[in-house]
Amino acid sequence: MFGVIVMGPVAVLSWMPGFQSMQTRILFNDAFSKGLQMFKIITHKVHQ
């Protein structure tokens, strides 16, 4: 029963479009940051 109380609101919020993008950003923030760093390095070398 406790699992339903805790996970119920999470499941409802996960179906809302704004929260989906926020969850994705929170979960994969490290990967996004590394991707952006690699993109900056690659584009900087190409433009030189």
Tell how far CA 6 is from the center of its chain: 21
At residue 45, the pLDDT reads 60
**Per-residue pLDDT tens digits for 10-47:** 888 878 888 777 777 777 777 777 776 777 677 766 55
> How far is Cα 11 from Cα 42, in angstroms, rounded to an integer?
39
For the question of whether the overall pTM of this predicted structure is more than 0.75, the answer is: no
At residue 3, the pLDDT reads 86
Is the Cβ–Cβ distance between 25 and 19 less than 8 Å? no
Domain boundaries, the chain: 2-47
At residue 46, the pLDDT reads 52
